[in-house]
Structure 1
Amino acid sequence: MPSPLRLGQVLRGRLESYTVSKHIQEDVVWLARNLKNETVVVKSVRGHPRIKNERDVLRRFQSRSPYIRPLIDEIQDPAEPTTIVLKYLESDLWDTSVRKSLNRKEIKYVSKRVLDALSVLHEDRYVHTDIKSANIFVNYKKDESEIRSSEVQLGDFGGSYPDDSKWAKSGTAIGAPIWNSPEVIMVTPWNTATDICLIYGGDFHIFRPKDVRHGDETYGLEVLMLQREYFGPFPPKVSVIFNAETLQSIVYLEHLVPPSERRPFRLVAEQEVGKEDKEFILKIMQMDWRDQPTAKELLRDEWFRTE
């Protein structure tokens, strides 16, 4: 499929014109310069509704939280495909944590802002579906501060849908399995509880399979097994929310993970994860989504009021 944009191309939006300056990601994301020579992000793709959906979601929500990366313009010429202009931020949280692990203050600073953005979506029963460090964008402070980020905004809303959409009701998997909740991996209906995020950063992920590559047929199962090892087992009461086939898969999973191989997260040494941090994560990481606190409840948690 040919790229919808090219370097040096002039795009005319509702508000002003932009010149495409750099290709960033596949045939979807570019950098461009406006008439003031300021950098902006341009997203465009042919034959897929993702960009149009992101535009519509941002129109609905961006005025309700300063922690949602905003839509700043929409391209009129060329009219097709749908092309949007977004605010540019210097980096993302994945790159930031690879350079240097986030300290405890930074983790709380970022978590509070992401939860604020999610609480706005969840009020209208919208699910982001792809919460991960690469979709959390940051600007840096100029000084050497304990908290490096001067600004934090959640982005990439192309896969965001309400929980009564056909995607949610059918259990359509959106995003990579390593970031998915158990109910998504098992292809069951999902809702706002699916938006989960972990404290781990850098190039380490607690649910990354060691011996299976992303894209392999069993990759999702391996991720689910690791979730079960750390935060399981599934409580018996899930029998009322999952169908017989899914319950059979859960029984199968229980036999795949013998007690000797289980590594409960609650037993992680405090040298690795402090007691208060561990308690906060355990509140979130529930195998039954009905037990998870909402984003608003988490924002009121004692974890944010202690150092």
Structure 2
Amino acid sequence: MTSRIYSADELEVCEEVGRGGFGVVYRGLIKTTNEEVAIKQIDLENDQTDLFEINKEISIISECRLPQITKYLGCFVKNYKLWVIMEFVNGGSLFEILQPGPVTDEKTISIIAKEILLALDYLHNQGKIHRDLKSQNILLGSKGEIKLTDFGVSTQLSSNFSRRNTTVGTPYWMAPEVILNDNGGHNSKADIWSLGCCLYELFNGKPPLQNQYPPMKALRYISKCTKDDDFVTIIKLNELEISSNFKDFLIECFRVDTRKRLSANKLLKHKFITKNSVDSNEQSKLIKTLITNKHLWDQENHVLKSQKFYLPTEMVQNQQKWNLDEKEEENTIKFDISTMNEYPSPKSTTRESSISPETTLTEKTPKKKTKKINYQTLQQHDSKQKNLSKTLKPELSKIVNKVFHKLDTKSSLSTEQYDLLVSLNQNFLDLLTFSNTTGNDNSTSKLIICQYLKYFMKELNKNDNDSRLLLKKLILPSEMKNTDTIKIKSKEMGPFDEIENSLFETWIDEMKHLKG
């Protein structure tokens, strides 16, 4: 494997293989060797991009040298995007492997546990914590490799500051001390709890409590665990039809007292690991079986992953080329986007009608009388709207992302549905712009997306035919009455509702002030 990649010129970017809040991941090829790599592209112009966290992740993964951790191959900036190049692991994640069903073979589970423990032992010895260990961050290779990836919320522990005091991770895999985030903070033992959740997930198909409770409720149950057997009792571990060694291994992972919870090094010596030890050939065979089963399941269920290929932006290159060209080519139109004005000149304020193929260019169409427009006032008005949109966009982005993750967690989405939702998310954010409506000579501004939803709800409530009633039933919550204006059933306002209402009113006042 090539030790370092320095520029995009060394790579051929292929199809998209993953997408998240950080950006997009593509499969790529190193041109000189034809070896596969993973290319994570992070948009540096995105308001949600945290450069500090990105820099921290890169500094951690660049120091890791272990077969059980995905290899870092370099990073660089191109066209306002940070490209992070990693080793490509082609078998998919543990989460994807579980889609056909749970893994009931304890030998296979033990092999996966051992490889993860080797990675954790290496990290913990270097004073690092992963902090977001879950099935999506464990990758399987077609040669039988198992690798830990995605160190987006990892942290480096120093000798003077051996604990972290920030609550991060994914709900169902989080340890009690991480959720409580008490004064003692948490250390590397938090990763051991998450490992136990991953192994439980392997055998059951879902992490602990996911089948019983939504994320926030699960967090409350986990945080209430004070004794070592509390969590074991909640998840009914003793009722699982597993060997005594596997059960004891999970109990060691799920000890609430972190002082009693075994380290990665000690768990590597547990009977569940040592008694299921296999050579590299058998390990490769067992892991390949999991990957093959997933491929067969995809074929049987007609799961077709949409192939989204990377399209580089050539506009900048073309403009540079045009500037360097001394000879002008005949019959060529040179288009430079930098010469475009944001607003049309006053000479062309009227909207021209479209010309049909039958209409000749010499035909004249009657011109409509139009009002004179003050372009300076229009620019100032539009500038205010843009500033307001910029203020509101981060908040809308949070809402839309939460809705997306909630739907993704609670629903079994196909790849096509997932891609469409990602596109819908982006459209929501793009439509945080204003439309001008004029009435009684007073120009008012409305958010396009809000206007769309308003008209949609009005249209939904207009007719009462069978199809419309069915749509209402599927769309409207049960507490919404079928009236001309949709009203929510009244209820007594509690203390939290009052606080929320007060905060909302304050926010509206601030928005009005900004707009004014």
Q: Taking structure 2 as the reference length, what is the TM-score of the superposition?
A: 0.44
Distance 1:22-1:168 versus aligned 2 partners, 3 A rule: farther
For 2:126 and 2:254, locate their aligned partners in 1 and report how far apart those are by CA, in whole Å: 23
1:92 matched residue in structure 2: 93
Report the CA distance between 1:14 and its aligned residue: 5.2
Distance 1:174-1:264 versus aligned 2 partners, 3 A rule: closer
* Pair 1:111 & 2:113 matched: yes
For 1:190 and 1:276, locate their aligned partners in 2 and report how far apart those are by CA, in whole Å: 27
2:268·2:274 contact (CA, 8 Å) conserved in 1?
no
Distance 1:182-1:209 versus aligned 2 partners, 3 A rule: farther
Report the CA distance between 1:299 and its aligned residue: 0.9
2:255 matched residue in structure 1: 286
2:179·2:223 contact (CA, 8 Å) conserved in 1?
no
1:173 matched residue in structure 2: 167
1:125·1:191 contact (CA, 8 Å) conserved in 2?
no
For 1:166 and 1:83, locate their aligned partners in 2 and report how far apart those are by CA, in whole Å: 33
* SS of 2:67 mapped into structure 1: coil
1:67 matched residue in structure 2: 68
1:182·1:224 contact (CA, 8 Å) conserved in 2?
no
1:67·1:113 contact (CA, 8 Å) conserved in 2?
yes
For 2:160 and 2:69, locate their aligned partners in 1 and report how far apart those are by CA, in whole Å: 25
* Pair 1:120 & 2:122 matched: yes
2:39 matched residue in structure 1: 42
Distance 1:264-1:37 versus aligned 2 partners, 3 A rule: closer
2:173·2:207 contact (CA, 8 Å) conserved in 1?
no
1:43·1:51 contact (CA, 8 Å) conserved in 2?
no
1:193 matched residue in structure 2: 189
Report the CA distance between 1:135 and its aligned residue: 0.6
For 2:141 and 2:133, locate their aligned partners in 1 and report how far apart those are by CA, in whole Å: 19
> Which structure has more RCO (C-alpha within 8 Å, separation ≥ 6)?
1
For 2:101 and 2:213, locate their aligned partners in 1 and report how far apart those are by CA, in whole Å: 27
* Pair 1:299 & 2:290 matched: no
Amino acid of the residue matched to residue 84 of structure 2?
A: I
For 1:67 and 1:31, locate their aligned partners in 2 and report how far apart those are by CA, in whole Å: 20
2:6 matched residue in structure 1: 13
Distance 1:169-1:226 versus aligned 2 partners, 3 A rule: closer
Report the CA distance between 1:290 and its aligned residue: 1.4
1:240 matched residue in structure 2: none
For 1:178 and 1:264, locate their aligned partners in 2 and report how far apart those are by CA, in whole Å: 12
Distance 1:83-1:305 versus aligned 2 partners, 3 A rule: same
* SS of 1:51 mapped into structure 2: helix
Report the CA distance between 1:18 and its aligned residue: 1.6
1:21·1:33 contact (CA, 8 Å) conserved in 2?
yes
For 1:170 and 1:56, locate their aligned partners in 2 and report how far apart those are by CA, in whole Å: 18
Aligned pairs for 1:200-279 within 5 A? 200-201=201-202, 203-208=205-210, 210-212=212-214, 214=215, 219=216, 221-226=217-222, 232-234=225-227, 263=234, 265=236, 267-269=238-240, 272-279=241-248
Report the CA distance between 1:55 and its aligned residue: 1.9
Distance 1:170-1:38 versus aligned 2 partners, 3 A rule: closer
Task: Number of aligned residue pairs: give it.
Answer: 250
Amino acid of the residue matched to residue 74 of structure 1?
A: C
Q: Give the structure with the larger helix fraction.
A: 2
Q: Give the structure with the larger strand fraction.
A: 1
For 1:15 and 1:299, locate their aligned partners in 2 and report how far apart those are by CA, in whole Å: 41
2:13·2:26 contact (CA, 8 Å) conserved in 1?
yes
Report the CA distance between 1:112 and its aligned residue: 0.7
* Pair 1:139 & 2:136 matched: no
Farther off after superposition, 159-168 or 278-287:
159-168
1:116·1:295 contact (CA, 8 Å) conserved in 2?
yes
1:171·1:187 contact (CA, 8 Å) conserved in 2?
yes
1:163·1:192 contact (CA, 8 Å) conserved in 2?
no
For 1:193 and 1:280, locate their aligned partners in 2 and report how far apart those are by CA, in whole Å: 14
Amino acid of the residue matched to residue 110 of structure 1?
A: I
Identity of aligned residues (%): 21
* SS of 1:287 mapped into structure 2: coil
Distance 1:168-1:78 versus aligned 2 partners, 3 A rule: farther
1:145 matched residue in structure 2: none
Once superposed, what is the RMSD of the aligned Cα atoms? 3.0
Report the CA distance between 1:165 and its aligned residue: 9.9
Unpaired runs of 5+ in structure 1? 1-11, 142-149, 236-253
1:182 matched residue in structure 2: 176
For 2:235 and 2:71, locate their aligned partners in 1 and report how far apart those are by CA, in whole Å: 39
2:177·2:223 contact (CA, 8 Å) conserved in 1?
no
Amino acid of the residue matched to residue 62 of structure 2?
A: R
Deviations 1:32-51 (A, max 9, x none): 23214443211232232333
Distance 1:121-1:211 versus aligned 2 partners, 3 A rule: closer
Q: Taking structure 1 as the reference length, what is the TM-score of the superposition?
A: 0.71
Which of 9, 29, 38 is 1:33 aligned to? 29
For 2:246 and 2:62, locate their aligned partners in 1 and report how far apart those are by CA, in whole Å: 35
1:172·1:187 contact (CA, 8 Å) conserved in 2?
yes
